[in-house]
Amino acid sequence: MRQLIHKLYSRGGLSRDEIVYLLARLDAGVRKELYGLADRKRREKYGDKVFLRGLIEFSSYCRRDCLYCGLRASNRSAERYRLKPPEILDCCREGYGLGYRTFVLQSGEDPWYTEEILVNLIQEIKAEFPDTALTLSIGEREDRTYQRLYEAGADRFLLRHETASPKLYQTLHPSMSFDNRRRCLKVLQEIGYQVGAGFMVGLPGQTADDLADDLLYLQALHPDMIGIGPFIPHSRTPLSGAAAGTIEDTLAMVALARLMVPDALIPATTALGSLDSEGREKALKAGANIVMPNLSPIAVRTKYALYNNKICTGDESAACRHCLELRIHAAGFSVDMGRGDSLKSFQVK
Ligand code: 5AD
Ligand code: FES
């Protein structure tokens, strides 16, 4: 086991069988070693810096019906809201004042925000804050729209692949296409975005083989960012009775992702922090190096409920920023408020 992990550390690759073998035999000792090596790899690449991103959840409307997600269109009890462009700009102003230099605009798949509205919004944000990086996380759109949004000034795009298992993907995403999701990720990369992919851990029916495929897919795609979080059931979804993913399994996947895609930016996700009060700190110690505090107005925070018991829904942005700084320092890391571009993005293409 130790040999396998050290091979991964020094060579960055394992076969599918080796990953499955490893996942089946993770005991406390092996995990500790794995987290330690991932931490070391992150330090080699990015030092002890943790980058902060200001997350603005601007619409809870969604046209999709993902079985796991509280924002799914069929959830009639979900409270919906839309922040209008001037309100989004206000969030950016507050964030900029607090020191943020990356804004992540995230929403359900909401066609109210047409290409034109988004282009104008992006141009306004970039005109007012030219020294910031702008990340979009708005789901699937036409290739041409992706292109226009990039030209308007968007720098990065998060689109998790959610799971590398075609069968599981199809069950969880009625009327969506596994192939199109992957195609979108390719298109986004070709356009020039820094791209984030990623997946959930502990989805009902997910196997160790599936998780190995998630890692191998990420290695082949080589995204700039990798978001990994535990599945957490939401009470008003068809998966309300399913068990949540575990902290330990999620941390193992974070560590393996760090070793297999060493130059990626990897967030300590809110879902991890929601499952375990120390979840984000544990992720930082297992190879993660991003935290994404919420900049959305307090009044809408609880309405962006992808899953139950989400953290930081009652905290002012300033308090959250302060709280995180303390937490990051206490965990032994330093806060970097810069744009925090991925190492890959500096390579000559
Ligand atoms: N549990 C955990 N993560 C979830 N997401 C959506 N619903 C859930 C849930 N119930 C994740 C998806 C999505 C990201 C924004 O949040 O991976 O891409
Ligand atoms: Fe948001 Fe602590 S991280 S309040």
Q: What is the dihedral of CA 279, 208, 213, 157, to 10 degrees?
A: -20
Statement: residue 256 has pLDDT above 90: yes
Statement: residue 349 has pLDDT above 70: no
17: CB partners within 8 A, 6+ apart: none
207: CB partners within 8 A, 6+ apart: 165
For 158-210, write each residue's pLDDT tens digit: 999 999 999 999 999 999 999 999 999 999 999 999 999 999 999 999 999 99
- How far from 341 is each of 38, 50, 225, 255, CA to CA, in Å? 20, 12, 10, 20
127: CB partners within 8 A, 6+ apart: none
Residue from 230, 227, 161, 243 nearest 201 by CA: 230
Cα(226) to centroid(ligand 1), Å:
13
Residue from 190, 202, 189, 200 nearest 164 by CA: 200
Record the tokens describing residue 261, joined without a space: 């895609």
For 262-279, write each residue's pLDDT tens digit: 999 999 999 999 999 999
Per-residue pLDDT, averaged over 36-61, amounts to 98
Cα(250) to centroid(ligand 1), Å:
13
Amino acid 222 reads H
Cα(78) to centroid(ligand 1), Å:
15
Residue from 64, 80, 82 nearest 72 by CA: 64
Among 84-98, 113-127, 226-240, 302-316, whose mean pLDDT is lowest?
302-316
- 42 confidence band (pLDDT: 50, 70, 90): very high
| Res 348: pLDDT | 62
In whole angstroms, what is the distance from residue 320 CA to residue 314 CA?
Answer: 9
Record the tokens describing residue 39, joined without a space: 């931490």
ipTM associated with this complex:
0.94
Instruction: Ligand 1: list residues with CB < 6 Å.
Output: 68-69, 160, 162, 200, 229, 231-232, 234, 271, 306-307
| Res 31: pLDDT | 96
Q: Which residue has the tokens 């941390």?
A: 251
Given a contact cutoff of 8 angstroms between Cβ atoms, the answer to whether 5 and 34 are in contact is yes
Residue from 347, 318, 330, 312 nearest 57 by CA: 312
For 49-89, write each residue's pLDDT tens digit: 999 999 999 999 999 999 999 999 999 999 999 999 999 99
Upper half-sphere CA count for residue 257 (Cβ side, 13 Å): 37
Record the tokens describing residue 174, joined without a space: 């009625």
Cα(199) to centroid(ligand 1), Å:
8
Burial 137-154 (b: 16+ CB within 10 A, else e): bbbbbeeebbbbbbebbb
Per-residue pLDDT, averaged over 212-221, amounts to 98
Given a contact cutoff of 8 angstroms between Cβ atoms, the answer to whether 168 and 201 are in contact is no
Cα(291) to centroid(ligand 1), Å:
16
Ligand nearest 314 Cα, by number?
2
Given a contact cutoff of 8 angstroms between Cβ atoms, the answer to whether 53 and 290 are in contact is yes
Q: Ligand 2 atom closest to Cα of 323?
A: 2
Q: Where are the beta strands (DSSP E) in 53-146?
A: 54-59, 102-107, 133-137
Ligand nearest 62 Cα, by number?
1
Per-chain mean pLDDT for the chain: 96
Amino acid 216 reads L
| Res 2: pLDDT | 85
Q: In what helix (H) or strand (E) does residue 94 lie, and over which residues does it extend? A: helix 85-97
162: CB partners within 8 A, 6+ apart: 66, 169, 172, 173, 181, 198, 199, 200
From atom 16 of ligand 1, which residue's Cα is the shortest distance away? 306
Residue 319, number of CB atoms within 10 A of its CB: 12
287: CB partners within 8 A, 6+ apart: 35, 38, 39, 41, 42, 254, 255, 257, 258, 259, 266
Domain boundaries of the chain, sorted by first residue: 2-339
- Report percent pLDDT > 70 for the chain: 99
Record the tokens describing residue 319, joined without a space: 């308090």
| CATH code reported for the domain at 2-339 | 3.20.20.70
